[in-house]
Structure 1
């Protein structure tokens, strides 16, 4: 299956998922992550503000922030690369391009993701053997992941059934080290 076909299939399945199942899944993912010592000890976490049918991150971002973790969220630049800014509570966000909420704090630059002790990214699917993630096709998170050190945990959030075999990969595609699903955290390749 090519990337475009797989993207469509996952997006169709996500749209058909009942809202109650999405909410329960997001709560389980949040609790699974917050139980991990390497998440609890991460002083700076790069995350994202979820949209649409993605596993919701709003509660996770808020919980990390309330715990005292510094959370940086992406700010989409005109060249589709990701700048980063600090999340400082729900009132620190404003709509950005495509209506996605972004922090209004000072931009820290595209290299800010290098300083994160944990990087949490969106994905439509992840290959269970290789850790290759399928994004939406803009390459923004592949560029960000390319800046992350080899020992930093990278985690893609997924709904059940989105950790699969055979995600198509190209040279620019970046891998993640973990997949977070409602059923648990899976370490990859």
Structure 2
């Protein structure tokens, strides 16, 4: 029910709301020291009324940052491919689920995320402990577990709307906190 509530609020946003928030989100995110010094960033392409990421992806790419984007596999695992600008994306429909914009070209394998300096995570909410509420598919839980197993320690940053930073979200034993949340109005750090 919690997920449905956040998704319902997002559905009520206008295209103009989403566009303005995306521009502000990119400005805030680009101010992060972690992104200023990153050589490689694992990110994602927003869909629908998610906080917009394309302006941020383009800015990182223009800086010469290697941007990795996920490719959803049939088992909900994520492979990764390089982002080379808007022309390097294709719409891919995954069965009856939503269509996603994914990178075309070379696949780098699920382990490629372990080389990222920063991992930008989607979510529906984050709480005061830095615990992230995702959509429930488990893809990013697997990514976070993979990072932990490999010993990689990238900055974990979730991109949200201001109203999605809440007091508490449910957490399970496998959940891992993020280091920061970026919203259109600012940044909040958790450790």
TM interval, shorter chain, is: over 0.9
How far residue 133 of structure 1 moved from its aligned partner, in angstroms, is 0.7
Which residue of structure 2 aligns with residue 115 of structure 1? 115
Q: Secondary structure at the match of 1:100?
A: strand
Which residue of structure 1 aligns with residue 50 of structure 2? 54
The structure 1 segments of at least 4 consecutive aligned residues displaced by more than 4 Å after TM superposition are none
Alignment partners' CA distance in 2, 1:18 and 1:95: 22
Does 2:4 match 1:8? yes
Deviations 1:15-59 (A, max 9, x none): 112322222211111001112232121010000000011000011
Which residue of structure 1 aligns with residue 144 of structure 2? 145
Alignment partners' CA distance in 1, 2:119 and 2:146: 11
Q: Secondary structure at the match of 1:106?
A: coil
What RMSD, in angstroms, separates the aligned Cα atoms of the two structures? 1.3
Which residue of structure 2 aligns with residue 134 of structure 1? 133
Which residue of structure 1 aligns with residue 83 of structure 2? 87
- Does the aligned pair in 2 maintain the 1:159–1:182 contact within 8 Å? yes
- Does the aligned pair in 1 maintain the 2:60–2:67 contact within 8 Å? yes
Alignment partners' CA distance in 1, 2:146 and 2:103: 21
Deviations 1:114-165 (A, max 9, x none): 100010010000112x211111110001111222356421111101110111
Q: Count residues in correspondence.
A: 184
TM superposition score normalised by structure 1: 0.92
| Structure 1: tracts of 5 or more residues without a match | none
- Say which of 10, 13, 17 aligns to 2:13: 17
- Does the aligned pair in 2 maintain the 1:87–1:105 contact within 8 Å? no
TM superposition score normalised by structure 2: 0.91
Which residue of structure 1 aligns with residue 160 of structure 2? 158
Q: Secondary structure at the match of 1:10?
A: helix
